[in-house]
Amino acid sequence: MEEQPKQSGQTEADDGAAKNSKEKVKRDFSGLLDSLKVFFGELLDIRSNTDQETTIQHIKEDIPIKGHNSWILICSIFIASVGLNANSSAVVIGAMLISPLMGPILGMGMSIAINDVDTLRRSIKNFLVMVGLSILTAFLFFRFFPLRDESSELLARTAPDIRDVLIAFFGGLALVIARAKRGTIASVIFGVAIATALMPPLCTVGFGLAIGNWDYASGALYLFLINTIFIGLATFLVLKILRFPMVRYVNSARRRMISRIASLIAIIVMIPAGYTFFKVWKESRFRNDARKFIHTVVAPYQFSKGGMFIENLSEVNYNEDGNSSIELVFMGDEVIPKNVIDTWKNQKESEYPVLRDAKLHIVQGGQSDSERKYNYVQELYESSKRELVNNETKIRLLETEVERLQKLTYNINFITLSEEVKVLYEGVEFFGFSNEIRTDFSKTDTIPAFSVSWKKDISPAQREKELDKLKKWLVLKTANDKLEIKELN
């Protein structure tokens, strides 16, 4: 009876100890969270070390494109054009280090963020001067420079890609954050951050105009404008986050009007920027899924009797209207079975939803005769020669296939051969030649087929003797023992 109170007291003591332990864990966890909050707050805080007045002053000083800045811009564009022409990334990077392109764009982003209409007007005027001077410089270089190859560095700037958008946006963030830091001297960072996204497209615009290719020029200009918008957007967002002071006007009505105009401009800029990002993201997603489909589904297909998949000539065509397509090029004598193609289409639709509406085109040499295959590859080679000039692998593949198809299509100098037959075989009345295409449904071959008819005064025994002699002579003359001779009478 005495042990019962003892057990009850012990239980209460245990409950108290457990409660104290839980409270201690909570205090420790709360302290850890507070420590992490303080750590990350100090790690990511940029407001405490921002010099707002000096930043605004420096950005305004860099807006004008005149005097020294204009000549530095001309030189940097020349250097970048040489680097793009020579396909040299190192030279392009060197041009970026001295480029003064960032001034007007930073000015536009800042003036919208702080409601400064006078600075916005100056920034737009100098931005137009900067673009015109850059394009003119690049145009003159590519117009009069004798070497104007379409290098991969140039072609990469003829269409926007989601990576270009990300480079522009995060380059703009790095640029403004570095500029806003108190006491910083980071002109190299400024040049690289802005020029990575802006200089090559401007040079490509000049290149497109110089060679008369409006698609190149318009594509590169579109890429430049997209990058400009995202750099300006990054500037606007950073200055808003850092709470830069708004420009105040004596006239309150004018202040409100300018504030509304600035807000409207910011919205107008953000809407196409967001729409463009969405469009580029959709295209990038489509192309990535198409590459995965080709590598995981199509490329592993095993040919058993001499065929090959030529990935370098296969094309992925994206169209936002829904007429996208994937064209796969196969060469060789083996025909891909219809059930395999149907399986590929089913996998495309079930495993890659983004590709569901894309049409799958299969181009395979085995579906046509050798002569048509030869003509197709020759035409493809000639039409693609300019695009393939910087890709030796593709050229070697096409030349190998042309050589293979030339062997399949047997060619002779029939006029000379027939004249010799007329002299050597007086009994021949008619002589003909053709390439006969034969297949056993596993491979296709070309047989040189000759036809001959004899004069009526030639006896059957003499015909047989002359025919055997003619065949041996043709085998020797053509170096082909597969040829056949048919008698027409």
Q: What is the pLDDT of residues 201-222, one digit of tens each?
A: 888 888 888 888 888 888 888 8
**Distance between CA atoms of 164 and 219, rounded to whole angstroms?**
13
Question: Is the Cα dihedral 291, 297, 298, 303 positive or negative?
Answer: positive
**Cβ(308)–Cβ(331) under 8 Å?**
yes
Q: Which of 129-133, 274-278, 472-476 has the lowest mean pLDDT?
A: 274-278
Q: At which of 379, 408, 437 does a domain end?
A: 408
- The whole-number pLDDT of residue 136 equals 92
**Cβ(214)–Cβ(208) under 8 Å?**
yes
**Cβ(336)–Cβ(330) under 8 Å?**
yes
| Residue corresponding to tokens 């673009």 | 131
258 within domain boundaries = no
Counting the structural domains of the chain, the total is 4
| Sequence-distant (≥ 6) Cβ neighbours of residue 347 within 8 angstroms | 293, 297
User: Do 298 and 403 share a structural domain?
Assistant: yes
For a pLDDT cut of 70, what percent of the chain falls above it? 73
Helices and strands counted in the chain (H then E): 16, 7
Of 327, 331, 328, the C-alpha closest to 306 is 331
**What's the rounded mean pLDDT across residues 467-471?**
85
Q: Which of 6-10, 17-21, 323-327, 337-341 has the lowest mean pLDDT?
A: 6-10
Q: What is the pLDDT of residues 401-424, one digit of tens each?
A: 666 666 555 567 778 888 888 888
User: Do 136 and 111 share a structural domain?
Assistant: yes
Q: What is the pLDDT of residues 22-43, one digit of tens each?
A: 777 777 777 777 777 777 767 7
**Cβ(225)–Cβ(205) under 8 Å?**
no
358 alpha carbon, distance to own chain's centre? 18
DSSP bridge partners of 436: 447
User: Do 439 and 456 share a structural domain?
Assistant: yes
> If you average pLDDT over each of 97-101, 146-150, 378-382, which comes out highest?
97-101
346 within domain boundaries = yes
270 within domain boundaries = no
271 within domain boundaries = no
Beta strands in 292-388 (DSSP E): 307-309, 315-317, 325-332, 359-364
Give the domain CATH number at 211. Answer: 1.20.1080
**Cβ(102)–Cβ(62) under 8 Å?**
yes
Does 6 score more than 70 pLDDT?
Answer: no
274 within domain boundaries = no
Does 188 score more than 50 pLDDT?
Answer: no
Q: Which two tokens stand for residue 450?
A: 């000759």
Which has the higher per-residue pLDDT, 7 or 312? 312
Q: At which of 350, 374, 408 does a domain end?
A: 408
User: Do 433 and 337 share a structural domain?
Assistant: no
What confidence tier does 260 reach under pLDDT thresholds 50, 70, 90? confident
Phi and psi angles of residue 99, each rounded to the nearest 5 degrees, phi first: -75, 135
Of 194, 193, 215, the C-alpha closest to 204 is 215
| Residue corresponding to tokens 């395979």 | 364
> If you average pLDDT over each of 8-12, 56-60, 159-163, 318-322, which comes out highest?
56-60
Phi and psi angles of residue 188, each rounded to the nearest 5 degrees, phi first: -65, -45
User: Do 301 and 343 share a structural domain?
Assistant: yes
Q: What is the pLDDT of residues 115-139, one digit of tens each?
A: 787 888 888 899 999 889 989 998 9
User: Do 320 and 203 share a structural domain?
Assistant: no
**Which helix (DSSP H) or strand (DSSP E) does residue 485 occupy?**
strand 484-487
Q: Which two tokens stand for residue 349?
A: 């639709």
User: Do 141 and 3 share a structural domain?
Assistant: no
Give the domain CATH number at 425. Answer: 3.30.70
Tell me whether residue 246 is exposed, middle or buried, using C-beta atoms within 10 angstroms of its C-beta: 0 to 12, 13 to 18, 19 or more: middle
Does 7 score more than 60 pLDDT?
Answer: no
**Distance between CA atoms of 127 and 202, rounded to whole angstroms?**
13
Count of alpha carbons within 13 Å of 4, Cβ hemisphere only?
Answer: 1
Q: What is the pLDDT of residues 367-398, one digit of tens each?
A: 444 455 555 555 555 555 545 444 566 666 66
User: Do 418 and 395 share a structural domain?
Assistant: no
69 within domain boundaries = yes
**Distance between CA atoms of 353 and 305, rounded to whole angstroms?**
33
Q: Which two tokens stand for residue 127?
A: 């931005």
Tell me whether residue 70 is exposed, middle or buried, using C-beta atoms within 10 angstroms of its C-beta: 0 to 12, 13 to 18, 19 or more: middle
User: Do 241 and 154 share a structural domain?
Assistant: yes
CB-CB neighbours of 353 under 10 Å: 10
| Sequence-distant (≥ 6) Cβ neighbours of residue 74 within 8 angstroms | 133, 137
Give the range of the structural domain holding residue 16, as residue numbers without chain letter.
1-32
**Which helix (DSSP H) or strand (DSSP E) does residue 481 occupy?**
none
**Pairing between β-strand 444-454 and β-strand 428-439 as defined by DSSP bridges:** antiparallel
**Cβ(184)–Cβ(178) under 8 Å?**
yes
